[in-house]
Structure 1
Amino acid sequence: MQAPDLTNPDAAAQLKILQAGAAPLYIVRPDILPLALLAMARLTFTYGRSPIGAYALSTYGLLLAGHFGEIADGYAFAKAAIDLNAVLDDAQFRGAILHIFGIHVSFWKEHYDVSTPLLQSAFNDCAKVGDLEYGNYIGFQLSFNLWEKGDALHGLFAATAPYLAFAKRSGAAHVAATIEFEHIALRYLQDEETLAPRLNQEAQKHLQTLQDSLFKAGEGYCTVMGLGVAHILGDDACALQWLEKFLARSDVLLSTPAQLSGWFYAALCLARDYPNLQGAKQAETLRQIEAIAGRFARWAAAYPDNAAARAALLHAEVARLQGRVSTALQYFEEARLAAIAGKFMHIEALANEMAAGLYATLHIDKVALMHIHEAHRIYLQWGALHKVSRMQSRYPEL
């Protein structure tokens, strides 16, 4: 905060060019984005503080946390960027800096509940200064966060409607298509099976819009939501198709909840497909699941708020596939309790449903039924009526 102000005009010009290119690079060339962010950080450290320099600190924090795994340092730099922006009293970059902290950094360390009001504030800041770029990014990313943190589904449409309206007013058809796809995914969880053909047709239309506009980040978010919804509903063939798409797009989701959620659902999808595989393919799949579970375990060990329940659920699946039944059951219970503590209704429901499946294979039917009833209750509370209907068809005792 006590550094001198930036006065070198060449450095200022370079910072301006790099800042203008940062968001487009994130979307279309994430492979070279780290070079641009490091260059901005170097210029700021060398030539002094500035409004763009505060932005550079925030993106450096993103890079440290998401690319290099240095979560504590990344968090510190992103927070310092917010503080520097306040000291400089700069409105132009305030929304972008809050966006970067709320979407790309905060979730590593803090519960999603912490970042949600920050992102809403960031959206308002962007709207005030006419920052259509970051204002629109917040819209589809916050919509995803509200879903993945387990909020009741019925309230998400109203909560995200302002962001969809903003995207349409500002001519951001690619962002509007992303949010509308997210809405379709939510409706598919909520609505009856008979709506599936129409919803699928609408979803494909929005995906085509994203492909035509080369909006890879939007495609990535839609892919993760499609994967998650398909897995929750038990549409295994559909989930495998979404998994293939996610694996091709995961690099465009650098340091976002969507990237972590994508790997989480990818591991669950692979675990469900595991019995259908043989030999070397089965062994390789188990190694993939173990690797993903290991990443979540390391994250949860340091910062459990968002990671603990998901890490435990992945470890339960690894133990189940390895035949370590008692360990798997312990992890399912750990996942259930962590999900309750974190208010992740969908993760709690999954933990109960998956535990029920294992108890059923052990012919411990009363305990299995208890967990099925609990999963059914939570899915109903969450608002996933389509899932509830499928469970009632499969388990007449419900």
Structure 2
Amino acid sequence: VKKRNFTDNVVELMVAKIEKLSSKTQEGLKLAACIGNQFELNSLAVIWETSARETALNLQEAVTEGLIQPLGDEYKTILLEPLENEKVKFEQLEVEYQFGHDRIQQAAYSLIPDELKQRVHLRIGQLLLQNTPESEIEDKIFDIVNQLNDGSELVNNQEERDKIAELNLIAGQKAKSSTAYQPALMYLQQGLKWLGTDGWKMQYETALALNVEAAEAAYLYGQFEEMETLVSAVVQNAKEVLDQVKAYEVKIQSYIAQRKLREAIDIALDILKLLGVRLPKNPNKFDVLLGLVKTKLRLAGKPIENLLALPEMTAPDKKAAMRILNSIVSATYFIAPSLMPLLTFKGVSLSVKYGNSFLAPARYAGYGIILCGFFGDIESGYRYGNLALRVLKQLNIRNVEVRTVFAVNWFIKHWREHPRQTLQSLLDSYSTGLEILELEYAGYCAITYCYYSYFIGQELVCLEREIAKYRAVLQKLNQTQTLLLINQTWQLVLNLIGKSQNPYFLIGEAYNESETLKLDIEVHNTLSILILYIYKLILCYLFEQEQEAMENSALAEKFLHGGIGAPTVPIFNFYDSLTRLRVYPSSPKSQQKRLYRKVQSNQKKMKKWSRYAPMNYLHKFYLVEAERYRILGKVKQAIDYYDRAIALAKENQYIQEEALAYELAAKFYLSQDKELIARTYMQEAHYRYSRWGAIAKVKDLETRYPELLQKSQSSFRTSGNSKISVTSTSGSQSSETLDLATVIKASQAISGEIILEQLLIKLMKILLENTGAQTGYLIFEQESKLTIQASGTIEADSITVLQSLPLETRVPISIINYVTRSRESVICNHASTESKFNADAYIQQH
């Protein structure tokens, strides 16, 4: 009450101050208050029906009193008396003012009698509209429409009301394209009010557009009940099926966002039937094979590249059918995977028969997915994926870019390319999806980016922050389906960085498996269930919970059809094999045969995949082979394949699988009573898990294998969520940051080189190569002073030696001094957040 009384008193004081001004200035302030807290001089001149200069002169008294403030210095020019040839130039000056405080605007506005306010707003809107060129109306649309809407009760002429309804349609579309969904919905609903009850009869096209646009704005704003009402209005009043299609698309998108996947599919199948396209609701394998045969026959004799030359699709009903087919691809993949191929076959068939529509790239990508994932024809599938991207580029189609890029990157490229090559295009498509309101597929691009980032070994603490960022956007956009999927990966990462009570249960800040699993089972969301069990399989395996790993493997396999074509399938294959080989020795002989046969079957597939994408799958094949030879007692072959897996994982930058290979090799050597070698390999595993940021795994290794990981080594967390590993450099522990191969290479270099300059070059190259560093410095102490004697970068592949350069500006002095004093090695993943070092000038700069 006190605050309100204070506010009222301030307004009364401002009113009293304004009333002391000249009548002209008061009139100008009242009109300006109708425009808003900030206003353009030219707009005020239009509604005041005076020149810009005269308007500025009349406002000058208010400027002097501090009631309004000019923005910039242009107002000074316009106050001058212009020469005859400068009048046009003066009128074109863009001068803006703003009220000194919103209470001043409120006070000026209160001086307009209530009974006149609507009339003033209406007149302002009419004058702005009359004086705005047609080409500039969209730029000024909000200023015009806001004024007209405030005077709605005074307009009785229906023709004028219809015109204002069209202006609200433009304003709603512009607001929606700027992601201002709530204002967009307001403008569109206001447009419907302007049309009145006879809108559908008298202004059919405008009524249709307003209802459809409002339905989409309501969905985007999370007003799902309002969306249903608006879609129903379209269905009831539309003159033909084609006019209903866009409204049904909105409803389908809304249902998918709300995880009503079965309802979304049923709506699509019904509207497709009205468009002359019939598909079975629950197809069987025969339907899929028949669809493939028909599609191959239709494509017979047509080289893939020739599909680029197909004419443009023009038939409206076929284009509409393509849109509906495209709208439920993701839903069918999640809960009706046998229907997904039929959507693709139909889309390809329509494209070949009637020409390429803007959705053709997505259908060619879909056909590539079917060939790769369902039938194992990776070569042809990959060609169709590339065809989809070429058609996309050729037709310059943004509308379908996001879903096409997602489909090719998630389902096809991993069979032939390293996922690292897809990351930037996924981020670009995520941004495009937000821009053009392809929100569902923008979410899938973000999820795929996070998924790939995890499986290629991106540093986990940084990745966790990225995932949290994308998750916040999806939550704001009410994308429940994609939100739950990204939460799974987020929780997986949280578990590994030690932010969960139990590392092999996906329960924590981001996700609760016991709650979400029930919902997934209710809606038959097979992909989400599959990913959950695969993540649990991985965690149980990493944390040596063998029986739980086997149980999750068996559960995941039941839902493997939900991940057809996706990289989840090879990941499952890999960890399923490793789990079976781990439990093999302790299993009864009756089970051992089944376990071994399944591993052989998995390896047959992995070997095929590794032929097409050795950079992704060959090291996985090698590691399983090493474990297979281990249980067979073939020591020499096991050693060979462990080392092959380590080398190839390192070469292709899969640091977490390099760490796993070192760990399994260490356990193997330990079983062979080779404790010294086991210690070396386990320390390498520990180091790589540390670099990956898997703090929970690092601690688990330290607990299980203290005899292999000396107690002087410690890992700790800082308050800034960065990670530092500190290792004593004395004694045998120098091998903890340099692997055995590095030590051997260095020894060979020293023994084979007597020229100091060449020796330093060799040592620097060896160190850069084997530590994975981008830049390296060799620092000597001479006469109690530290100097740089050699430096090099991996990119330039050049080494400079015998420099004797000072350390300042070239390296982080605080870290160098710390290491010099403590004689410890330091690894900082996030030096900028580590309180010991973040004040360092070098760290702040870089």
Which residue does 1:120 correspond to in 2?
427
The AA in structure 2 aligned to 1:57 is Y
User: How do residues 1-398 of structure 1 correspond to structure 2 at under 5 angstroms?
Assistant: 1-191=308-498, 194=501, 200=507, 202-397=512-707, 398=709
Report if aligned partners of 2:401, 2:429 keep a CA contact under 8 Å in 1.
yes
In the aligned structure 2, how far is the partner of 1:193 from the partner of 1:133? 29
CA contact (8 A) 2:506 2:513 kept: yes
CA displacement at 1:25 relative to structure 2: 0.9
In structure 2, the gaps of 5 or more residues are 1-307, 710-846
* Greater fraction helix: 1
1:196 and 1:395 mapped to 2: Cα distance? 18
Moved more, 72-81 or 3-12: 3-12
Comparing 182-191 and 209-218, the one that deviates more: 209-218
What is the alpha-carbon distance in structure 2 between the residues aligned to residue 175 and residue 353 of structure 1? Answer: 34
| AA of the residue aligned to 1:140 | I
Residues 356 and 369 of structure 1 are in contact (CA less than 8 Å); yes or no, is this contact kept in structure 2?
Answer: yes
> CA shift at 1:66, angstroms?
1.8
Amino acid at match of 2:646: R
State the Cα distance separating 1:194 from its structure 2 match.
Answer: 4.6
2:585 is paired with a residue whose SS is helix
Q: How far apart, in 2, do the equivalents of 1:185 and 1:109 lie? A: 26
Judge which range, 97-106 or 271-280, deviates more.
Answer: 271-280
Asked if 2 retains the 8 angstrom alpha-carbon contact of 1:174 and 1:210, the reply is: no
CA distance in structure 2 between the aligned counterparts of 1:178 and 1:193, rounded to whole angstroms: 18
Residue 343 of structure 1 aligns to a residue in which SS?
coil
Q: Please tell me whether the aligned partners of residues 553 and 576 of structure 2 are also in contact (alpha carbons under 8 angstroms).
A: yes
Provide TM-score, normalisation by structure 2.
0.45
Amino acid at match of 2:624: L
Q: Deviation digits for residues 241-296 of structure 1, max 9, x if unmatched?
A: 32122111111111111221112111111111212322332101101011111211
CA contact (8 A) 1:174 1:218 kept: no
Question: Shift in Å at residue 317 of structure 1?
Answer: 1.9
Question: Separation in 2 of the partners of 1:197 and 1:57?
Answer: 39
AA in 1 matched with 2:431: N
1:341 CA displacement? 0.6
Residue pair 2:618, 2:648 contacting (<8 A) in 1 also: yes
Compute the displacement of 1:310 (Å): 0.8
State how far apart, in whole Å, the 1-side matches of 2:688 and 2:610 are.
24
SS at match of 1:276: coil
Deviations 1:181-227 (A, max 9, x none): 32222122121775659963634334344344543322222222221
**Letter of the structure 2 residue corresponding to residue 54 of structure 1:** P
Cα pair 1:336 1:351 within 8 Å, conserved: yes
Cα distance in 2, alignment partners of residues 174 and 18 from structure 1: 19
State the shift of 1:56 in Å: 0.7
State the SS of the aligned residue for 1:121: helix
Task: Give the deviation of 1:40 after TM superposition.
Answer: 1.6
Asked which structure has the greater CA Rg, the reply is 2
Q: Offset of 1:94 from its aligned partner?
A: 0.4
**1:64–1:71 CA contact under 8 A, matched in 2:** yes
Distance 1:261 1:270, change over 3 A: same
User: SS state of the match for residue 275, structure 1?
Assistant: coil
Q: Is the 8 A contact 1:25 1:33 kept in 2?
A: yes
The alignment partner of 2:600 has SS state of helix
Matched AA of 1:229: L
- In 2 relative to 1, CA 73–199 (structure 1 residues): closer, same or farther, beyond 3 Å? closer
Unmatched tracts of structure 1, length 5 or more:
none
What's the CA shift for 1:111?
0.6
For 1:192 and 1:114, the matched residues in 2 are separated by 30
Contact 2:645 2:658 in 1 (8 A): yes
Greater shift, 340-349 or 215-224, is seen at 215-224
User: Which structure carries more strand by proportion?
Assistant: 2
Give the deviation of 1:343 after TM superposition. Answer: 0.8
| Structure 2 contact 335–526 (Cα < 8 Å) conserved | yes
- Contact kept, 8 Å, 2:345 with 2:367, in 1: the verdict is yes
Task: Tell me if structure 2 keeps the 8 A contact 1:300–1:311.
Answer: yes
Provide the alpha-carbon RMSD of the alignment: 2.0
Question: CA separation of 1:385/1:173 partners in 2, compared to 1, >3 Å: closer, same or farther?
Answer: same
Secondary structure of the 1:200 match is: coil
Q: Once the 2 structures are TM-superposed, how far is the Cα of residue 100 of structure 1 from its aligned partner?
A: 0.6
Tell me the CA shift for residue 9 of structure 1. 4.2
Structure 2 distance, partners of 1:312, 1:288, is 16
Q: Residue by residue, what CA displacement relative to the aligned partner does 1:112-139 show, whole Å, maximum 9, x if unpaired?
A: 1111111111211211111122122223
1:285-337 per-residue CA deviation (whole Å, 9 max, x = no partner) reads 10101111121111112321111111111121222222322112111111000
- Residue of structure 1 in register with 2:296 after alignment: none
For the Cα contact (< 8 Å) 2:503–2:696, is it kept in 1?
no
Q: TM-score, normalised by structure 1?
A: 0.94
The separation in 2 between residues aligned to 1:193 and 1:206, in whole angstroms, is 17
CA contact (8 A) 1:177 1:207 kept: no
Secondary structure of the corresponding residue to residue 368 of structure 1: helix
Give aligned pairs, total: 398
CA–CA distance in structure 2, aligned partners of residues 130 and 106 of structure 1: 25
User: Does the Cα contact within 8 Å between 1:178 and 1:219 map onto a contact in 2?
Assistant: no
What is the alpha-carbon distance in structure 1 between the residues aligned to residue 331 and residue 507 of structure 2? 29
C-alpha distance in structure 2 between counterparts of 1:379 and 1:263, whole Å: 22
| Displacement of 1:353 | 0.9
Contact 2:530 2:559 in 1 (8 A): yes
Give the distance between the partners of 2:655 and 2:695, measured in 1 at CA.
Answer: 14
Alignment-mate amino acid for residue 662 of structure 2: N
Contact 1:379 1:385 in 2 (8 A): yes
Which residue is equivalent to 2:776? none
Report if aligned partners of 1:271, 1:286 keep a CA contact under 8 Å in 2: yes
Kindly provide the amino acid, as one letter, of the partner of residue 585 in structure 2. P
What is the percent sequence identity of the aligned residues? 23
Q: Cα deviation per residue 1:35-78 (whole Å; 9 max; x = unaligned)?
A: 22122222222322111112111111111122222222212211
